[in-house]
């Protein structure tokens, strides 16, 4: 029996158990996936405890995505650049290996809706917090030209330096209308929707507005985007995309069915 879990706080509303159990059941695997609440500050003790309990793989969500890095034995190059991990796998000799599957998860979600070749494309990214980092890493490596806009402009400059290997533009969020005309598509990584706010958008003219959030926090922003003529996509595809990458790491390259997990998520929201 392979034991898997997501750790975080809060973790009760996480869709990860639903996604992974959908795949485990569909494939008839001898595995379990649970959600475990681990309070802030207890990351290292929890990783020791879960190793003792013979867990083989973990997803990591807030507030532990950075904190796990101080405890793991090995990290992928993506984790080093992004500065956060979302997937841990037990090493044969003990300890944990850290990966970040948010980056390939975003690329997979974009590919599903027809965005596959990023070279020469200009992507307007809104927000420079934790959620932005994996996206910036992924888009930079995929060859996109990025314009990163953030309320706090200094943070945008710093995040670009840390997560990207090529030079990109940055600026304040209130310059959105000025830059939007050049964008092939827009990715919103801000947490503005969690406070019920939305970022005002200029006309979309049928271009893609991709929001990394889903459910209630995304609803107002996406409704506004559609009213402004943007084609919209919420973050569920990215959530399932990163889960599929984690699943593949834990189960020796098995590629699970994205559609059944997406349908299960949409039905549960």
Q: Least distance in Å: CB of 253 to ligand ATR?
A: 30
Return residues touching ligand ATR (CB under 6 A).
127-132, 150-152, 155, 173, 189-192, 195, 197, 199
Q: Of all residues in this chain, which one has the CB nearest to ligand ATR in the complex?
A: 129
Closest CB to ligand ATR among residues 190, 246:
190
Is 180 labelled as part of a ligand binding site? no
- Looking at beta carbons only, is 220 or 264 nearer to ligand ATR? 220
Q: How far is the CB of 27 from ligand ATR (least distance, A)?
A: 32
Q: Is 86 annotated as a binding residue?
A: yes
Q: Phi-psi region for residue 13, left (φ > 0), alpha (ψ -120 to 50) or beta? A: alpha
65 is catalytic: yes
Cβ of residue 23: shortest distance to ligand ATR, in angstroms? 26
Pairing state between β 122-126 and 87-90: unpaired
**Cα 199 from Cα 143, distance rounded (Å):** 27
* 154 known member of a binding site: yes
Our CB check for ligand ATR shows the closer of 4 and 234 to be: 234
Q: Are 185 and 207 in contact (CB under 8 A)?
A: yes
The response to whether 153 counts as a known ligand-binding position is yes
Shortest Cβ 198–ligand ATR spacing (Å): 8
Neighbours of 248 (CB within 10 A): 15
Query: Strands of 2-8's sheet, edge to edge?
Result: 31-37, 2-8, 55-60, 87-90, 96-99, 74-75
How many contiguous H segments (helices) and E segments (strands) does the chain have?
Answer: 10, 12
Nearest C-alpha neighbor of 65 from the set 11, 109, 23, 8: 8
Pick the closer one to ligand ATR by CB: 60 or 258: 60
Annotated binding site for shikimate: 14-16, 61, 86, 102, 214, 242
Annotated binding site: 14-16, 61, 86, 102, 127-131, 150-155, 212, 214, 235, 242
């Amino acid at each position: 029996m392979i034991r898997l879990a997501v750790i975080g706080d809060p973790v009760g509303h996480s869709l990860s158990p639903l996604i992974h159990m959908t795949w485990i059941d569909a494939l008839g695997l001898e595995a379990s996936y649970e959600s475990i609440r681990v309070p802030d500050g207890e990351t290292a003790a929890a990783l020791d405890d879960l190793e003792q309990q013979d867990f083989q793989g973990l997803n990591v969500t807030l507030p532990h995505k950075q904190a796990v890095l101080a405890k793991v034995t090995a990290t992928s190059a993506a984790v080093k650049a992004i500065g956060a991990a979302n997937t841990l796998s037990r090493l044969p000799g003990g300890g944990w290996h850290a990966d970040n599957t948010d980056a390939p998860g975003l690329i997979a979600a974009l590919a599903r809706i027809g965005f596959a070749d990023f070279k020469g494309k200009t992507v307007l990214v809104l927000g420079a917090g934790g959620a932005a980092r994996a996206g910036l890493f992924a888009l930079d490596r995929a060859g996109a030209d990025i314009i990163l806009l953030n309320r706090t402009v200094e943070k945008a400059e710093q995040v670009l330096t840390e997560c990207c290997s090529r030079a990109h533009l940055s600026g304040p969020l209130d310059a959105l209308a000025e830059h939007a005309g050049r964008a092939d598509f827009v990715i919103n990584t801000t947490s503005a929707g969690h406070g019920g706010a939305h970022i005002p958008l200029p006309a979309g003219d049928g271009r893609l507005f991709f929001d990394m959030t889903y459910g209630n926090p995304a609803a107002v922003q996406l409704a506004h985007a559609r009213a402004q003529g943007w084609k919209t996509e919420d973050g569920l595809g990215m959530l399932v995309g990163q889960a599929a990458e984690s699943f593949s790491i834990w189960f020796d390259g098995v590629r699970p069915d994205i559609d059944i997990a997406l349908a299960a998520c949409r039905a549960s929201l």
